[in-house]
Amino acid sequence: MRNRRSYLYSIEYSFLRVLLLVLLPVIGLLSVGLVPCDSYAQTSSVDSKFGQMLADSKYGILSNSIANLQANGDSLWVGPYLNMTTNEGQSWRLVESDSLFGSSNRVFSIDVIGNLVVAGLGKNDLSTGDNVQTAAGFLVSEDGGSNFDYRFPQLDQPTDTTVVYGSSLLGALAIIVPQQSPPFDVSIDPWSGEIWVAGWASGIRRSSDLGRTWTRVVLPPDNLDFIHPDSTYSFRLEPQRGGSGSLNHLGFSVLVADSGTIWAGTAGGVNRSMDGGSSWRRFKAEGTSSSLTGSWVISIEEQRYGSESTVWMATWNTSEVAGEQFGVTYTDDQGESFHQALRGERIYDFAFDGLTVYAAGENGLFISRDGGSFWRSVSEFRDRTRSERIVRPGSSVFSVEVTRSAVWVGTGDGLLRSTDGGVSWELHRTEVPLHPTEPDDLVPDVETFAYPNPFSPAADQFIRIRYELAQASNVDIRIFDFGMNLVRTVEDSVPSGISDTRWDGRGDDGTRVANGAYFYEIRAGNARFRGKILVIE
């Protein structure tokens, strides 16, 4: 039992560690040093106002690692800093909230229906020396994002050790600390406005008062596949920990479909309720082609086309059943039958444009135009107007979404927009200016900078050297070691304006340079710019 739990948590840490990696060009774009208190008063009816959503973002999107995307018509919301655009990326806005800026909190999940916007907040808690994902509350807007209220995390009181399910009084583990309970997924009921959250150790919960209070949802334990409130039970509502509890009480994804059917994904399968969350039927991997590919369900999304509906799930391997594997599972008859696709692929997210399915995965973006039988993969992303602007090769695709006129793809190295179904791309990245109108210690006035800096050739593959030219020109970038010995000359031909030229960390002889400080000089006509790079493996 212990090894199984450690395996699941190790994948979770690795997954979220990558999702929450924030690329901060220059010395640091944002101050994230102030950590909010982890001791939350459990009086969730208290509301707090945190600014307005009307601030323009001077630097575009505020992270190049895009963990979350959520569309609402022409509007697109982007995590981990809750940026948004209403004009297809021509300009960006941000939520000026103390619960995001000036803290280590990030957006773990977003859902938007009409004017209701819900963002689940979490962070990585390093206080114990471990990388533990931690609940940090919610931001809720009822006016489309103009104003947000803060809500406390979905936790229990120490005395919450029982839960009523129908005629049964069940024992329950009170989840009283935020560690291991981040809001990995949120879903708004399109009919009632009720908010559902999947919070790992805190399981699946629901709120009928916009997140002020939360009710625990009872799912089947690992030894049952069906529960109904009219039957009598004696199991405990408890996430697996050590030798007790259930994998099916570890919540990772949730969806309230347009039909009202509720789907709850856990580390032990997917649970379906067709009566508003009272009775549940659980489905899991059985090692057959007609079941889930794997029992850990990390994402659930609904594809609507006319009167038809298909529910798509990213189903991961837990090694609990022979034949389990990573892949995609989908159903077009509300779970009466299941189909598999992309077996062996680690998928994170889905989006749809009519019959077209987009799947975001570790190995790129997958596109199917025939309902999942045939897939085309895209793993190389380059800006269609400036070919030198590329996404770092091998970057995972973490999120995908569709607005009225484009498909958007979130990667670990930038946000992409396509208006031709994924054939060509427009690349959006954090745009740190060389000459800000109001320079400060975080964003100074400089002629050039390089990022990421320090630079690891093995991990980062290349470093981007940024500079600005008044006119198009051929450019030579000369890189010297600490003794001012020339180790590499990089030649480029760039247009006027701001450009990035890449260096792969190798010398002219093709060998990787040693750790240490390096200096570079940019030569373009009569222009000369100089900067410094620190190489560390």
Q: Is residue 146 part of a domain?
A: yes
Supply the pLDDT for residue 29: 28
Of the listed ranges 90-104, 131-145, 293-307, 320-334, the least confidently predicted one is: 90-104
pLDDT at residue 6 greater than cutoff 70: no
205 vs 129 pLDDT, higher one: 205
Are 200 and 260 contained in the same domain?
A: yes
Supply the pLDDT for residue 41: 29
Of the listed ranges 55-59, 141-145, 449-453, the least confidently predicted one is: 55-59
pLDDT digits 0-9 by tens, 462-521: 999 999 998 999 999 999 999 999 999 999 988 888 889 999 999 999 999 999 999 999
pLDDT at residue 49 greater than cutoff 90: no
**Which of 378, 399, 428 is the last residue in one of the domains?**
428
Tally the domains of the chain.
Answer: 2
pLDDT digits 0-9 by tens, 60-100: 898 899 989 999 988 999 999 999 999 999 999 988 888 88
- Per-residue pLDDT band for 35 (boundaries 50, 70, 90) equals very low
Q: Is residue 438 part of a domain?
A: no
Dihedral sign for Cα atoms in the order 218, 220, 223, 228: positive
Are 121 and 249 contained in the same domain?
A: yes
Give me the mean pLDDT over the 130-140 stretch: 90
Are 8 and 129 contained in the same domain?
A: yes
pLDDT digits 0-9 by tens, 445-459: 889 999 889 999 988
- Gap between the Cα atoms of 211 and 487, Å rounded: 58
CATH number reported for the structural domain that contains residue 143 in this entry:
2.130.10.10
- Per-residue pLDDT band for 130 (boundaries 50, 70, 90) equals low
Helix, strand, or coil here: 266?
A: strand
Q: Is residue 47 part of a domain?
A: no
Are 421 and 502 contained in the same domain?
A: no
Are 31 and 139 contained in the same domain?
A: yes
Q: Which two tokens stand for residue 382?
A: 């380059």
Q: Do the Cβ atoms of 220 and 264 come closer than 8 Å?
A: no
Give me the mean pLDDT over the 430-444 stretch: 82
Are 118 and 165 contained in the same domain?
A: yes
Are 296 and 351 contained in the same domain?
A: yes
Q: CA-based Rg of the chain, rounded to a whole angstrom?
A: 24
Are 461 and 388 contained in the same domain?
A: no
Give ∠ CA 279-283-285 in degrees, rounded to 5.
165
pLDDT digits 0-9 by tens, 193-230: 999 999 999 999 999 999 999 999 999 999 999 999 99
**Which of 365, 399, 428 is the last residue in one of the domains?**
428
Are 358 and 264 contained in the same domain?
A: yes
Domain that holds residue 473: 449-535
Q: Is residue 164 part of a domain?
A: yes
Supply the pLDDT for residue 129: 60
Give me the mean pLDDT over the 292-307 stretch: 95
**Which of 428, 457, 488 is the last residue in one of the domains?**
428
Are 347 and 461 contained in the same domain?
A: no
Are 423 and 464 contained in the same domain?
A: no
Single-letter amino acid, residue 389: R
Q: Is residue 418 part of a domain?
A: yes
Are 222 and 114 contained in the same domain?
A: yes
Q: Is residue 434 part of a domain?
A: no
CATH number reported for the structural domain that contains residue 489 in this entry:
2.60.40.4070
Helix, strand, or coil here: 425?
A: strand
Q: Is residue 52 part of a domain?
A: no
- State the CB neighbour count (10 A cutoff) for residue 437: 7
Give ∠ CA 119-270-232 in degrees, rounded to 5.
105
pLDDT at residue 402 greater than cutoff 50: yes
95 vs 107 pLDDT, higher one: 107
* pTM attached to this predicted model: 0.85
Q: Is residue 517 part of a domain?
A: yes
Q: How many CA atoms lie within 13 Å of 129's alpha carbon, on the beta-carbon side?
A: 0
Supply the pLDDT for residue 54: 56
Helix, strand, or coil here: 241?
A: strand
Collect all residues with Cβ–Cβ distance below 8 Å to 270 and sequence separation of at least 6: 263, 264, 282, 283, 284, 292, 297, 300, 313, 315, 329, 335
Note every long-range contact of 1-7, with CB atoms under 8 Å and residues 24 or more positions apart, other chains counting.
Answer: 1/240, 1/242, 1/243, 2/242, 2/243, 4/240, 4/247, 4/318, 4/319, 4/320, 5/240, 5/241, 5/242, 7/318, 7/319
Q: What single string gives the DSSP state of each residue in 442-489?
A: SS---S-EEESSSB-HHHHS-EEEEEEESS-EEEEEEEE-TT--EEEE
